[in-house]
Structure 1
Amino acid sequence: MKLGCIGDDFTGSSDLANMLAKGGMRVVQYTGIPSGPAEDGVEAGVVSLKSRTIAPDKAVELSLKALDWLEAQGCTQFFFKYCSTFDSTKEGNIGPVIDALLERLGTDRCIVCPAFPATGRSLYQGHLFVNDTLLSQSGMEDHPLTPMTDPDIRRWVGYQTQHEVGHVAAPTVFDGSDAIEAAIRTEAEAGRSVIVVDAIRDADLHEIGRAALDLKLVTGGSGVALGLPANFLGEGERKAPADTWRGDDGPAAIIAGSASRMTRAQVARYAQDHPAMEITADAVMAGEVTPEEAARFALEADGIALLYSSADPDTVRAAQERYGREEVAGRLEGFFAETARKLTEGGVTRLVTAGGETSGAVVEGLGLTALEIGPEIAPGVPALRAEGRDPVLALKSGNFGDEDFFAKALDILGGRT
């Protein structure tokens, strides 16, 4: 194995695996830290953790265990993947994990680049934009677990890390990989170890990838991985992903737990013409609805059903105030994990999930350990197959995809393009 990746949630990890596979690497996404060695021929391993919103000390512990496993597989470079909207609080846990990885790897520098232009995320003068809007005005300021109220990633990561924060600005990035590499070196020599790098175009990400050739640690969204495969694959070694995807046109269901603007729009669009059941936090907390009832609704519905808890921010905040933020999140994740188990026991072989925490809960609930990367459904969202078994899956981060995403995902999972 050449490139070792640690993802802080399951949807982002599949996004990263998709990016590396498109670049010609043989990739396997592992759900949790594997108990044994990787199979022969894997060039990039992506260890998916469910660590995005847990306490920093727990996230550090998990991430270092993942690093230990990846080092044992022979990796020479490591990638810490977090969301392209840098989802975190002032306390972390992105910064603490970066600090721990830097220390364990014995290096004095890494880059921070959450940009992903294909999904509208760009970083300019250290500020993160979602399309033409600052991150803090994009809807992410209302995120129920990691409200992003400051678009300046230099400042935000500065709250979290014990290191000084550096910056490679867009004009330097536009000058290409040599200029970027020199700027990274200058920042590190000046004692600024955590270096935010601007990017607004795919071309920037390719240049950043080339500049990262000798870095032990790269951190960012999946976009920056666009430029990494070329560093590991020689002339003639880069191959398009093998055309081995096998769809499954069996029974299907959709579970949406994200409160993002886009997921709410996707829910509204799909529910216009298909069976849908809202799962409210109040109903779950009061025991008024059970996973068995939700699964029964989906299995008996006339058409492919949507089960959703994608409420507007005011409703989410009100529920958090009544029951506690962690309690609401934990109960909903447990509810959907059990619902997914009931669905697959009832014959569902295609499952679409929306929301990083929800997707992680579903994958863990189903006991999936490794995922095969299939065709891309939307930028950042590949089709996935659990290795050696059903179901086929789409794990979507909250804001990814367009309003017709659910229908498109069901078609591709079913083998239709």
Structure 2
Amino acid sequence: MLMNATNTGRILILADDFTGAGDTGILFRTRTVPVAISLHPDRLDSVSESDAVRVILTDTRTYPTDEAARIAGAVARTAISAVDFAHVYQKIDSTMRGSVGAEVAAVLAALGRTTAVLCPAFPEMGRTVVGGKLLVDGEPITRTQYARDPRKPILHDRLCDIVHDTDPGIGTCECRAEDLPEILGESFGGAGGARIVAVDAQTDGELQAIAEAIAGRPDVLPVGAAGLGRALSGIWLRDAPSASPADDSEPAAGPGARLAVVASGSANPRSIAQLAALEREMPGLPMIRVDKERLTTRGEAEREMDRVCHEVERVVARSRVFAIALSDTRMETPPYQGEYESFVARAVAHAVRVSGVEPAGIAIVIAGADTSHSCCRELGIDELYPQREVVTGIPWSTTDAGIHILSKAGGFGADDALARCLRFCLPSEVSAH
């Protein structure tokens, strides 16, 4: 059954990874329209009619295709059965990692829709779609590091080919933004009648045109990254509950943290460059490195974590501002237990425990979606409440545990992004130095 479109104005966002939930969720927040992010797709009791904007993290980016599709469909079905959401946005990776085709097909089925409009473009971060092909900083995606992603490598440049990797039967077509209204009026489908329309976009203006073509279409599922999300938010928020366009300013002050930690488990060269810039811009900042080479056996991993925790205790005793990061070594050998990012998260949690600082005085700047999610698990965080965008694509959120979180995708941000975020977290008299 097609989901009933009403005037409730409530918005549901399904995000396949942690940083995507944050960088898109924040775009729908105003002073009078709150946003809540659920980190547990299997525990959705908090989803209710009181939600103006609800983001649900499915966390399916790296899952096997069948499991990713099952979870995405089940979450969509559960959410819309609990709340009459007027709008649904499926947030995916701007580089199309994950099981995009299978997950979109599953969500379409759950919503009772047959058409999805796909555009992962995020021009501000160098992601564009030209002639049906995905480019990063002007280069076809298969010529970039994302083609070598150890968990979900991208094997094709064309969006429709990437879709068909995980759902060969779904119908696809390509078009330009200006042709989208006409394409949506045509009869077209694949197996079961479902179709995905992949749309070109190189500019925010083209994303706006896509948003305007689909924003009033309850039969169409928008699928994309934060770029399309930003365009849709300006339209959908006009009808959101409690929306007040005259009073949509962001909170001015940061957390004023007494303990501020940068945590990076990302192997993305962009995050590595940001850590190097952080050390240059904030000389003397303690940097605790977790050695990947010592995490591949049980004994070595235990000894390495003991060393790191002792180092954390030593640093916390003299400084409440520091960084914890994985070594830059490229490793093919899997870690002893969990993912490499989980060891960074354990070190962060230890720092929080031994600091003696109350949760409201703690801020953590995290690079990498998996690192962010691991940190939240270790710290007992189940929900986030985005407050403002500190740097493009990097939101500041409060949490149900009281701790402040700033999260960024590994490949997002200029070289000074981590330094800017860390300074934002500190009291003004500290950040000025």
Output the TM-score relative to the length of structure 1: 0.86
Report 1:322-361 matches (<5 A).
Answer: 322-323=333-334, 327=335, 330-347=338-355, 349-361=362-374
Q: Within 2, Cα distance between the matches of 1:97 and 1:297?
A: 46
2:78 to 48, 69, 82: 69
Q: Within 2, Cα distance between the matches of 1:216 and 1:163?
A: 19
- Alpha-carbon shift at residue 302 of structure 1 (Å): 4.6
- Alpha-carbon shift at residue 202 of structure 1 (Å): 0.9
Report 1:252-291 matches (<5 A).
Answer: 252-272=260-280, 273=283, 274-285=285-296, 286-287=300-301, 288-290=303-305
Query: What corresponds to 1:408 in structure 2?
Result: 420
Query: What corresponds to 1:13 in structure 2?
Result: 21
Quick check: 21-30 or 211-220, which moved more?
Answer: 21-30
Number of matched pairs? 397
Q: How far does the alpha carbon of each residue in 1:178-206 deviate from its partner, in whole angstroms, 9 at most, with x for none?
A: x4222133263685601111111111111
Q: Is the 8 A contact 2:34 2:385 kept in 1?
A: no
Query: What corresponds to 2:321 in structure 1?
Result: 304
- Alpha-carbon shift at residue 166 of structure 1 (Å): 2.7
1:95 to 84, 91, 101: 101
**What amino acid is the match of 1:64?**
G
Q: Is the 8 A contact 1:209 1:226 kept in 2?
A: no
Q: Within 2, Cα distance between the matches of 1:201 and 1:309?
A: 35
**What amino acid is the match of 1:336?**
V
- Please list every run of at least 4 consecutive aligned residues from structure 1 whose deviation after the TM superposition is greater than 6 angstroms: none
- Alpha-carbon shift at residue 121 of structure 1 (Å): 0.8
**What amino acid is the match of 1:332?**
Y
SS in 2 for 1:204: helix
> 2:73 matched to 1:60?
no
Q: Within 1, Cα distance between the matches of 2:387 and 2:327?
A: 27
**What amino acid is the match of 1:186?**
E
Quick check: 138-147 or 259-268, which moved more?
Answer: 138-147
The CA RMSD measured in Å over matched residues stands at 2.7
Q: Is the 8 A contact 1:165 1:193 kept in 2?
A: yes
Report 1:27-42 matches (<5 A).
Answer: 27-33=35-41, 34-38=43-47, 41-42=50-51
Q: Is the 8 A contact 1:253 1:351 kept in 2?
A: yes
- Alpha-carbon shift at residue 161 of structure 1 (Å): 1.4
- Alpha-carbon shift at residue 414 of structure 1 (Å): 2.9
SS in 1 for 2:396: strand
Q: Within 1, Cα distance between the matches of 2:87 and 2:426?
A: 36
Q: Per the alignment, do residues 244 and 75 of structure 1 end up closer, same or farther by CA in structure 2, a change over 3 Å counting?
A: farther
- Alpha-carbon shift at residue 339 of structure 1 (Å): 1.9
Query: What corresponds to 2:6 in structure 1?
Result: none
Identity of aligned residues (%): 20
Q: Is the 8 A contact 1:356 1:397 kept in 2?
A: yes
- Alpha-carbon shift at residue 265 of structure 1 (Å): 0.4
**What amino acid is the match of 1:114?**
P
- Alpha-carbon shift at residue 125 of structure 1 (Å): 0.9
Query: What corresponds to 1:368 in structure 2?
Result: 381
Q: Within 1, Cα distance between the matches of 2:326 and 2:157?
A: 27
**What amino acid is the match of 1:196?**
A
Q: Is the 8 A contact 2:92 2:224 kept in 1?
A: yes
Q: Is the 8 A contact 2:170 2:194 kept in 1?
A: yes
Query: What corresponds to 2:137 in structure 1?
Result: 131
SS in 2 for 1:264: helix
Q: Is the 8 A contact 1:350 1:392 kept in 2?
A: yes
**What amino acid is the match of 1:181?**
P
Structure 1: gaps of 5 or more residues:
none
Report 1:181-192 matches (<5 A).
Answer: 181-186=181-186, 188=188
1:107 to 100, 105, 113: 113
Quick check: 346-355 or 228-237, which moved more?
Answer: 228-237
Query: What corresponds to 1:197 in structure 2?
Result: 199
Quick check: 351-360 or 1-10, which moved more?
Answer: 1-10
Query: What corresponds to 1:85 in structure 2?
Result: 95
Q: Is the 8 A contact 1:359 1:395 kept in 2?
A: yes
Q: Is the 8 A contact 2:69 2:103 kept in 1?
A: yes
SS in 2 for 1:84: coil
Q: Within 1, Cα distance between the matches of 2:274 and 2:371?
A: 16
Q: How far does the alpha carbon of each residue in 1:120-174 deviate from its partner, in whole angstroms, 9 at most, with x for none?
A: 111111111112222222322232222224222221112211434433433xx1x
- Alpha-carbon shift at residue 28 of structure 1 (Å): 1.5
Q: Within 2, Cα distance between the matches of 1:187 and 1:364?
A: 46
Q: Within 2, Cα distance between the matches of 1:375 and 1:77?
A: 22
Output the TM-score relative to the length of structure 2: 0.83
Q: Within 2, Cα distance between the matches of 1:211 and 1:265?
A: 39
Q: Is the 8 A contact 1:247 1:392 kept in 2?
A: yes
- Alpha-carbon shift at residue 301 of structure 1 (Å): 5.7
Q: Is the 8 A contact 2:118 2:199 kept in 1?
A: yes
**What amino acid is the match of 1:120?**
G
Query: What corresponds to 1:46 in structure 2?
Result: 55
**What amino acid is the match of 1:48?**
L
Q: Is the 8 A contact 1:13 1:29 kept in 2?
A: yes
Q: Is the 8 A contact 2:154 2:162 kept in 1?
A: no
Query: What corresponds to 1:233 in structure 2?
Result: 238
- Alpha-carbon shift at residue 39 of structure 1 (Å): 5.7
Q: Within 2, Cα distance between the matches of 1:298 and 1:187?
A: 64
- Alpha-carbon shift at residue 328 of structure 1 (Å): 6.5
